[in-house]
Amino acid sequence: MNHENFEELLLLYVAGQLSETERAEIEAHLLLCADCRADLQLWQATSEEIGRANRALSAPPNLVERAIHEIHAPNRLAAAFLRTWQLLRAQAFLVQREMWPAAALVMFIGVGVALIAERASVLYFLAPLMAASTLAMLYGPENDPGLELSLATPISPWKILLARLSLVSGYNLLLCLAASLSMLFIVPPGLLGALILGWLGPLAFLSALALLLSIWLGTSQAITITYSLWLLQYIPFKAMGLWFNSPGLDWTMLAYQQFWHSPLLLLPLSLLLVGLALWSANQSAFRLPGALG
Amino acid sequence: MTSYALPKKKTWPVSMASFETHLELLQRISAGDEFALRELYEAYGRRLYAYALRLTGEPALAEDVVQETLITVWRAGGKYRGDGRVLAWLLSIVHNLALKTLRRQSILMTDEVEASLPAPDDSPEIQTQRSEQTRWLQQGLQSLSPEHRAVLELVFYQGLSLEETAQVCNCPLGTVKSRLSYARQHLRGTLIRQNMEEWR
C-alpha cells in the first residue's frame, strides 16, 4: 500500500471504520511517516471538534408537531385557488351592479343595428366604447359602494383591482364574442376571425387606458379622453373644411387609423397599461382622494 | 504510537435489529401513522438536526430543513427501497433540502467571504477556556463550504462510509475523496497560518 492510500485510510481510521488488519497496517505506517502522523492529529482534532459541537445539541422539541400541522394544512395551490375564487366572488358583488345589464343592453342594441343595417363594422365601433366605459367605472371612490368593506380587508388595492379587471374584462369579452357570433347572419364564417381580431386590439387598449386614467384622473375624465381618442379616427376633418390641404396631416390621420388596426401593437401596449394601472393602484401618490387603500 | 488515542472499530448506532424496526417505522409512516413519525424523530432527530445545522449554520433554517425532511418522509416513506441504512436515506433528504434552502436564501458564501467573518460570538470566558488550536480549527471548519463541511460531518459524526457519504451528497465517490482532501489542506492551512508549529 502506498502513502496516498494511507492518507485516505487515516480518515476512516479516526472515524473507527477500519478492520483489525487495516488498523494494524496503518499503525505500522504511522510509526514511519511524520506526514501521516500530522494528518492523524488533524483528523482527530477535527473529529473531536465536530463531536464536541454536536454533543451540545438536542433535537428541537416541536418539530414533529409542526411537520404534522403542515402535513394536514390544505394544499397551497388549492388554498390559493380558493382564495382567488372567494376574492372574485366578493368583488363581483362590489362593482357597480348596473354595469352588467347596461353593457349587455348596449351590445344587444349594437347587434340589432348591425344586423338591420347589415354592417358588421358597428361591432368594431361599439365594442371598445362599451368596454372602456365599464373599465372606467371599475375603481375609485365615486364608483365603489363597497369602499369601506374593501378598506377593512388586508388585501392589497392592486389585487382588488386585478380581480375586478378580470371579472369585467372577462364579461366584456364574452359579450363581444357572443355579438360576433351573431354577425354570422351577415358575414361568412371565414371572416369571423378577422372580425374578432378587429375589435380585440382596440377593446383591450381602450379598456386598459380607461382603467389607468380613471385611477389617475377619475371616471368622467377617463371616459371623455378614451371616447375622444376613439372617435377622432371617424371625424371627417376634410369634409368639415377644418383640414388644410397638407400631405403631412393627411399622412398623420392615416397612421392614426392604422394604429387602431394593429392588434400586435395594441395588445402589448394594453398589458403595459394594465401593469401601470395595477402599480398605480398601490401608490398613494397616484390615487384619487378617498380611493382604496 | 502510544501517544495517540487509538480508535476502536465503531459500532453502528443503528443495529440490524433496529434497522428492521426503523424499516417498519417507515412502512407505518407511509400508512399514515403519526406516532411512527414521532418514533422516527426520537431515533434520528438529533442527528438530522446536527447535520442540517452543520450545512446551514442557522438554527432557524436547520429547524425548517428538519421539518421539511419529516414532511418528505411522511409523503415518500413508502418509496424507501431498503437498499441502504435508513439514516443515510434520511441524511440525503436533509442534504438536498438544506442545499436547496441555502440556494434559495442566496447565502451560499464563498470561502473568502466566510473567512472574513468574525469568530463565533462565544462569551469571553468560553473563548479563553478553549485552546487556541480548537478555536482556529473551529474557524477553519466554518470557513469551509457547506459541501466540504458535509463530508466531514457525515464521516466523523454520522459514522457513514465513504460510499454512503457519496450517496447522501448525490455525487461520485471520487468527489467525496477530493472534498476530503481539500478539507484536509484547508484546515491544515488555517492552522499553519496561525503559526501553529505543530501542524507544519
Domain B16-199 architecture: Orthogonal Bundle (1.10)
Q: What is the pLDDT of residue A49?
A: 86
Range of the domain at A23: 3-55
Which residue in B1, B141, B152 is closest to A27 by CB distance? Answer: B1
**What's the pLDDT score for residue A235?**
80
- Yes or no: say if A226 and A217 are a contact pair by the CB < 8 Å rule: no
Kindly state the average pLDDT of the residues A86-91: 82
Is residue A112 situated within a structural domain? Answer: yes
Q: Are A110 and A180 contained in the same domain?
A: yes
Q: Is the same domain home to A49 and A102?
A: no
Is the per-residue pLDDT at A165 higher than 60? yes
Residue-level pLDDT at B165: 92
Which pLDDT value is given to residue B2? Answer: 41
**Among residues of chain B, what percentage have pLDDT more than 90?**
28
Residue pair B9/A18 in contact (Cβ under 8 Å)? The answer is yes
Within an 8 Å CB–CB cutoff, is residue A14 touching chain B? yes
Q: What is the pLDDT of residue B47?
A: 92
Residues A126 and A246 in one domain: yes
Listed by start position, the domains of chain B span: 16-199
Q: How many domains does chain A have?
A: 2
> Using one digit for the tens of pLDDT, what is the confidence trace for A66-77?
999 888 877 777
B65 touches B56 (CB < 8 A): yes
Same structural domain for residues A137 and A277? Answer: yes
**Residue labelled with grid coordinates 375589435:** A199
* Closest residue on chain A to B178 (Cα): A8
Residue A35 has pLDDT above 90, yes or no: no
Write down the mean pLDDT value for chain A. 84
Residue with the three cell numbers 495517540: B4
Residues of B in contact with A47 (CB under 8 A): 156-157
pLDDT digits (tens, 9 = 90+) for B94-132: 999 999 888 877 544 444 444 444 444 455 555 554 567
Name the least confident of B24-28, B114-118, B189-193.
B114-118
| Arithmetic mean of pLDDT, B174-189 | 90
Contact B198, A41 (CB under 8 A): yes
Tell me, yes or no, whether A122 lies in a domain: yes
Given a cut of 60, whether residue A269 has pLDDT beyond it is yes
Please spell the DSSP secondary structure of B1-53, one letter per residue. -TTS-PPPPPPPSS-HHHHHHHHHHHHHHHTT-HHHHHHHHHHHHHHHHHHHH
Average pLDDT, chain B: 77
Residue A4 contacts B, CB cutoff 8 Å: no
Give the CA angle between residues B85, B100, B25 to the nearest 5°.
30
Residues A29 and A141 in one domain: no
Residue A288 clears pLDDT 60, i.e. is over it? no
Q: Is residue A65 part of a domain?
A: no
Determine, for residues B198 and A23 on separate chains, whether the beta-carbon distance falls below 8 Å: no
Residues A145 and A139: their CA atoms lie apart, in Å, by 10
> Of how many residues is chain A composed?
293
The pLDDT of residue B62 is above 90: yes
Between chain A and chain B, how many beta carbons pairs sit less than 8 Å apart? 122
The span from the CA of B112 to the CA of A180, in Å, is 66
The confidence score (pLDDT) of residue A180 equals 93
Q: Which spans in chain B are helix H?
A: 16-30, 34-56, 59-76, 86-105, 111-115, 124-129, 132-142, 146-152, 162-169, 173-193
A47, A54, A63 member nearest B45 (Cβ):
A63
Nearest neighbour of A50 by CB, restricted to B157, B181, B191: B157
Q: Check CB contact under 8 Å for B141 and A16.
A: no
Task: Flag whether pLDDT at A270 surpasses 90.
Answer: yes
Look at residue B130 in the predicted model and tell me its pLDDT.
55
A93 φψ region: left (φ > 0), alpha (ψ -120 to 50), beta (else): alpha
Whether A181 shows a pLDDT value over 90: the answer reads yes
- Report the interhelical angle of A157-182 vs A76-94 (nearest 10°): 70
- Closest by Cβ to B50, choosing from A11, A38, A57: A57
Same domain for A18 and A147, yes or no, is no
B34 contacts A31? CB cut-off 8 A: no
Domain assignment present for residue A291? The answer is no
A224 residue type, one letter? T
Residue A31 lies in a domain: yes
B contacts of A10 (beta carbons < 8 Å): none
- Comparison of pLDDT for B69 and A55, the residue scoring more: B69
Q: What's the Cα-to-Cα distance from A99 to each of A67, A131, A223, rounded to whole Å?
A: 48, 10, 14
Amino acid at A139: Y
Give the mean model confidence (pLDDT) for residues B9-29.
64
Look at A64 and B159 and tell me if their CB atoms are within 8 Å: no
pLDDT at A245 over 70: no
Predicted local confidence at residue A150, as pLDDT: 62
Interface pTM, i.e. ipTM:
0.74
How far is residue B43's CA from residue B60's CA, in Å, rounded to a whole number?
21
Q: Tell me, yes or no, whether A76 lies in a domain.
A: no
- A230 and A156 within one domain: yes
Predicted confidence band of residue A291 (pLDDT cuts 50, 70, 90) = very low
Those residues whose C-beta lies under 8 Å from the C-beta of residue A89, and which sit 6 or more positions away, are none
CB-closest option in A14, A57, A71 to B49 = A57
> Is A248 in CB contact (< 8 Å) with chain B?
no
Over range A124-128, report the average pLDDT: 91
Note whether A199 and A161 are within 8 A (CB). no
Residue A254: which pLDDT band, with cuts at 50, 70 and 90? confident
Chain A residues within an 8 Å CB radius of B88:
none
A53 contact residues in B (CB cutoff 8 A):
138
Contact by Cβ (8 Å): B99, B146? yes
Query: Cα B41 vs. chain centroid, distance in angstroms?
Result: 16
C-alpha cell at B187: 484546515
Q: How confident is the model at residue A268 (pLDDT cuts 50, 70, 90)?
A: very high
Q: Which of B48, B93, B144, B156 would you mutate first to test chain A, the one with the most A CBs within 10 A? A: B156
Dihedral sign from CA coordinates of A102, A108, A113, A119: positive
- pLDDT at position A292 is 45
pLDDT of residue A253: 83
Q: Clarify whether residues A134 and A234 are in a common domain.
A: yes
Which residues 143-182 of chain B have a CB within 8 Å of chain A? 152-153, 155-157, 159, 161-162, 177, 180-181
B53: closest CA among B176, B175, B141, B173?
Answer: B141
Averaged pLDDT for residues B177-191: 88
Residue A80 lies in a domain: no
Cα–Cα–Cα angle for B182, B185, B187, rounded to 5 degrees: 105
**What's the rounded mean pLDDT across residues A257-280?**
92
Whether residue A208 is contained in a domain is answered as: yes
- Decide if B137 and A45 are in contact by the 8 Å CB cutoff: yes
Nearest CA distance, B1 vs chain A (angstrom): 7
